[in-house]
Each structure stands twice: as C-alpha cells, then as structure tokens.
C-alpha cells in the first residue's frame, strides 16, 4: 500500500480528513493540566522510595555487580 501524502490530496479531501479528526478529538475526555500534574507529582512522590533509580540497588541484588576483580600481570 503506497504512503499517503497529505499535500498530494485535493483541498476538499484535506478538509474532510480534518473534520473527521476534529470529530474524534471532540469525543475525548479532557482534564485540566493543573489537576493532572498534581496527580502525577503525587504518584511519583509516593513511589520514589521504591524507585531503584532514586534509592539505588542493594549490592547483594545488583545483577551487574562484578563477581571478582581482574588482575593484569
């Protein structure tokens, strides 16, 4: 199936596609950014103690810890 290039379509087809997209978007449930950002912040803060990127990985559970040292003589 060939790629669809919007610039190759007639103006009427472009407008139809835009109207279809707007009809889809108007049905979406929206929330205020101020409310969502507060929820995201709380979620992150609640789980930061469990986050290995924040807390770190215990040495005994670190799968990337070197098993032994390398000695070059």
For 62, which DSSP code? -
What is the spatial distance between Cα 64 and Cα 57, in angstroms, rounded to a whole number?
Answer: 10
Give mean pLDDT, residues 38-65: 87
Of the spans 5-9, 25-29, 57-61, which averages the highest pLDDT? 25-29
Give mean pLDDT, residues 11-39: 94
| Residue bearing the bigger pLDDT, 71 or 55 | 55
What is the torsional sign of CA 21, 24, 27, 29?
A: negative
Fold type of domain 6-61: G Protein Gi Gamma 2 (4.10.260)
Q: Where are the domains of the chain?
A: 6-61
- The per-residue pLDDT for 66 is 79
Residue 45 has pLDDT above 80, yes or no: yes
For 67, phi and psi rounded to 5 degrees?
-75, -35
């Amino acid at each position: 199936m060939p790629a669809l290039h919007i610039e190759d379509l007639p103006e009427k087809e472009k407008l139809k596609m835009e109207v279809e997209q707007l009809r889809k978007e108007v049905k979406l449930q929206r929330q205020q950014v101020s409310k969502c950002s507060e929820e995201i912040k709380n979620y992150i803060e609640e789980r930061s103690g469990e986050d290995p990127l924040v807390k770190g990985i215990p040495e005994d559970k670190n799968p990337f810890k070197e098993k032994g040292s390398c000695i070059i003589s």
